[in-house]
Amino acid sequence: MNDFAARLIAWQAVHGRHDLPWQNTRDPYAIWVSEIMLQQTQVAAVIGYYRKFMQRFPDVAALAASGQDEVLQHWSGLGYYSRARNLHQAAQMVVDEHGGIFPRDFEAIQRLPGIGRSTAAAISSFAFDLPQPILDGNVKRVFARHFLVEGWPGMPRTEKRLWTLAEQLMPQQEMVAYTQGLMDLGATLCTRSKPGCEICPLRQTCGAFLNQRVKELPSPKPRKPLPEKAITMLLLVDGDEVLLEKRPSSGIWGGLWSLPEVADGGDAQTAARERYGAETDMLPALPVFTHVFTHFRLHITPQPMRIIRHLPEARQLSAVWLSRQEAIGAALPTPIRKILKNLPD
C-alpha cells in the first residue's frame, strides 16, 4: 500500500467520522440516498433531511411507489431539486429493470439518473467493498493541494489529471476506510477556508503546505458576472387561502409548487384575471429580495393581491388554492416558503 493511502487510513481510524446516520451499513439504498443528498450540500445540512427521508422512504420500493410531489416535499429546503427527481426516477428504474435490487455492476450503477462516476464509486466502495476511485469536491481539494495541481478542478484537463491521481493512489485493500478517510479529511481538515494543516496527517508531503500555497489551491473558478433576472410573484389571497402553481418538471424548482409569476413590470391584475379567473384588489408590494442561483441572480418582488370575486373562466389546471398553513407545508422552494411565512395577516 502506498504511503499516502496508509497514512490516510491510519488517521481515519482514530480521527475520522464513524457515527453519521448512513455509516455502519452495507445497504446500497441507504448509502445511495446519502451520497445524492451530499452532492453540493454539507453534512450538517443533510443529517436531518436524511433521517426524515429514510423514515418515510425506508427502501427503494417505497421510494419508487411514491409520487414525485411527496418526494419533493421531503426534499423541500435542501435545494438542487433535480437530485430528488433523479433519485425518484432511478428508484423506479431499479424496481422495473433490476427487480428492486440495487445493481452491483459499476456501469449499471452509473446508468441510473443522477449518478456520476464518483457517486457510483462511493456506493460501490461503501456498499459492496469494490475498489473504485472517488473524486468529489472535497477530494479534488485534497489532491490539488497535496500534489500541486494547477488549474480550476472543473476544467477538463485539470479534472483528468485529478482522476489519474485518484486511480494511482487507490489501494486494493481497506478501500472503505481509505474512501471515507479522503472524504473526512476534505470535510474536516483540508477545508476551503481555515484548513487544519498543523494536525493534517499528510502535511509532511503536502506540496501546498510545504510551499505556502494552501490559500491558492485549488485554483478558483474563473469568475463571470452573474446574469440578473427580475420577476413579480403574485400572492393571490382569498381569506386564509393562497394560490400555488406547479412549476414545469424541468428548470429551476422543477416540479415544485410556487407562486404564479409575471415578468417584472408585467400587468399582475390582467394575469390574475386571464390565467386564474380572479378579479383582484392590489395591495402594497412587499420588499424586493434576491435569491442567488448557481448561474444567475433572481430579484423577486412579492405582490399581494386580495381576491374580490372569482370569475366563471377556465382556471389553470396546474394551480390550487390552499390554506396558508397547508401551503407552507407543501413542496415549496425555500424562498417561497419564506414569502408565505412573512405574509402579513
Residues belonging to the active site:
35
**Residues 6 or more apart whose Cβ sits within 8 Å of residue 253:** 81, 247, 333
Q: Note the Cα 92 to chain centre separation in Å.
A: 20
Q: CA-to-CA distance for 100 and 94, rounded, in angstroms? A: 5
Q: CA-to-CA distance for 138 and 14, rounded, in angstroms? A: 20
Q: Which three cell numbers stand for residue 190?
A: 483540508
Q: Where are the alpha helices (DSSP H) in 16-136?
A: 28-37, 43-56, 60-65, 68-75, 82-98, 106-110, 117-128
Pairing between β-strand 228-238 and β-strand 261-263 as defined by DSSP bridges: antiparallel
Rounded (10°) angle between helices 82-98 and 28-37: 160
**DSSP at 247:** P
**Residues 6 or more apart whose Cβ sits within 8 Å of residue 294:** none
Pairing between β-strand 228-238 and β-strand 297-310 as defined by DSSP bridges: parallel
Cβ(165)–Cβ(149) under 8 Å? yes
Least Cα distance to 87 among 29, 159, 19 occurs for 29
**DSSP at 37:** H
Q: Which three cell numbers stand for residue 30?
A: 441507504
Residue type at 314? Answer: A
For residue 280, report the phi and psi dihedrals to the nearest 5 degrees. Answer: -130, 165
